[in-house]
């Protein structure tokens, strides 16, 4: 199993399709196979070591996985799909032996491995672990179920099943993230069995629907465009663990579970929060550090009532009896920790494009000026005001956060 500078990486997955032959200088014979993960198409099997069935990763600093000639690997299609190889259908896990070039021996056939696919999209599973988190949450793990019964965890979520609010997600960010596979289509979001509302979460998010929900709380006509208007002024499914924080397509698709999301204004989701997450990935790659990352929500966003002018706490779901759930977060936050250098930072963003007084949402001493890797305009209110705190200072407000030994700022 690949190590994350002292920590086992439990969240990284890979799978294989596009293979090229490589040769050792001076040797005219092909001596193995090389997989370039940057050109992997969809519906390709997971690539696993044959003995321990751990996921095989690209060489650090590259997008290539090298396999020796005659090396055996296993292929799996978590979910309902089977492996399609050389015209044959293989149920469960298939053993593949690198022959040369693109050719692998699979189930008695020599086939071009770039043609080996899963019969349907690889799917992920969200399941409760039976543990509690932060006093009021249930711990949920999201990952891939292999055909041999093993479960490969991607990340964990702490879910408040009373308020129907995600408190945080936890994952590991690899320093090789800049060599990730990009592109591909997004799957449908999975509600699983955790929300138990009077409506499906998928049916709450359409703009016309949540416009009515927000306006009713603010004393506005259903169709009023004052807040949920045009352009990017609507509430999106805000990832906590970002799709782009993973190397492979199967990992990226596993982030589309509602227990990994919270309502986030698109003006924030698509701008400053996006820029910050990208900056953190660049930081990890540039500095060759692997990071343990928590991403969470804090507080409840408010807007003034149309008649009284008083601030109203906003919820994304209100039933006909006035029962409320899914609070719209005041803040999104992310804590990144480098255990080798004992360095970390907490970065926070205001989830309200209409909030002009940022001071009421500054919950810890701002040290963002010391982070030279935050290169975007973090002060743009409509794009989401961004600031940063030491982990120790942030823990004074969010005391359930692990007591990381962060002696330095992540800089």
Q: Burial of 164 by CB count in 10 Å (0-12 exposed, 13-18 middle, 19+ buried)?
A: buried
Residue among 147, 239, 257, 305 flagged as catalytic? 239
Q: What is the largest CA-CA distance in the chain?
A: 82
Q: How many CA atoms does the CB half-sphere of 109 hold within 13 Å?
A: 14
CA distances 140 to 171, 187, 316, Å, are: 12, 20, 22
Q: 93 with 146: CB under 8 angstroms?
A: yes
Cα–Cα distance between 258 and 274 in angstroms, integer?
Answer: 19
CA distances 45 to 94, 257, 383, Å, are: 10, 21, 39
Annotated ligand binding at 269? The verdict is yes
Q: Burial of 166 by CB count in 10 Å (0-12 exposed, 13-18 middle, 19+ buried)?
A: buried
- From the centroid of its chain, how far is CA 376? 22
What is the three-class DSSP state of 13?
coil
**Annotated catalytic residue 232:** no
DSSP 166: E
Strands lying side by side in the sheet with 83-85: 88-90, 83-85, 117-118
Catalytic site positions: 239
Annotation: binding site for Mg(2+): 269
Annotation: binding site: 269
């Amino acid at each position: 199993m690949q190590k994350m500078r002292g920590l086992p990486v439990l969240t990284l997955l890979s799978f294989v399709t596009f293979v090229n032959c490589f040769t050792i200088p001076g040797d005219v014979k092909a001596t193995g196979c090389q997989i370039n993960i940057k050109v992997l198409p969809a519906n390709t099997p997971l690539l696993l070591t044959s003995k321990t069935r751990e996921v095989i990763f690209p060489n650090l600093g590259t997008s290539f996985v090298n396999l020796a000639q005659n090396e055996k690997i296993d292929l799996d299609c978590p979910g309902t799909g089977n492996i399609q190889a050389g015209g044959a259908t293989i149920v469960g896990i298939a053993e593949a032996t690198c022959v040369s070039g693109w050719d692998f021996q699979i189930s008695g056939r020599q086939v071009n491995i770039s043609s080996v696919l899963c019969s349907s999209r690889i799917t992920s599973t969200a399941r409760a672990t039976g543990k509690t988190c932060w006093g009021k949450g249930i711990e949920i793990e999201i990952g891939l179920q292999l055909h041999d019964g093993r479960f490969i965890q991607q990340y964990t979520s702490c879910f408040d099943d009373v308020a129907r609010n995600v408190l945080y997600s936890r994952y590991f960010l690899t320093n090789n993230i800049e060599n990730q596979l990009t592109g591909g289509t997004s799957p449908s979001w999975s509600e699983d069995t955790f929300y138990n509302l009077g409506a499906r979460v998928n049916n709450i998010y359409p703009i016309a629907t949540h416009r009515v929900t927000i306006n009713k709380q603010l004393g506005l006509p259903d169709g009023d465009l004052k807040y949920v208007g045009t352009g990017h002024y609507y509430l999106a499914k805000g990832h906590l663990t970002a799709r782009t924080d993973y190397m492979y397509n199967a990992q990226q698709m596993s982030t589309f579970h509602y227990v990994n999301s919270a309502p986030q204004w698109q003006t924030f989701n698509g701008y400053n929060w996006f820029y910050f997450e990208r900056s953190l990935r660049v930081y990890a790659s540039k500095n060759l550090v692997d990071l343990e990352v928590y991403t969470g929500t804090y507080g409840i966003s408010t807007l003034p009532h149309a008649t009284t002018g008083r601030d109203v706490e906003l919820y994304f779901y209100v039933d006909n009896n006035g029962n409320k759930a899914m609070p719209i977060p005041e803040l999104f936050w992310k804590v990144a920790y480098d255990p080798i250098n004992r360095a970390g930072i907490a970065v926070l963003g205001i989830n309200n494009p209409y909030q002009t007084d940022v001071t009421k949402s500054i919950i810890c001493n701002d040290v963002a000026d010391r982070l030279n890797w935050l290169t975007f305009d973090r002060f743009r209110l409509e794009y989401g005001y961004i600031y940063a705190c030491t982990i120790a200072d942030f823990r004074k407000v969010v005391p359930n956060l692990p007591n990381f030994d962060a002696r330095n700022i992540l800089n």
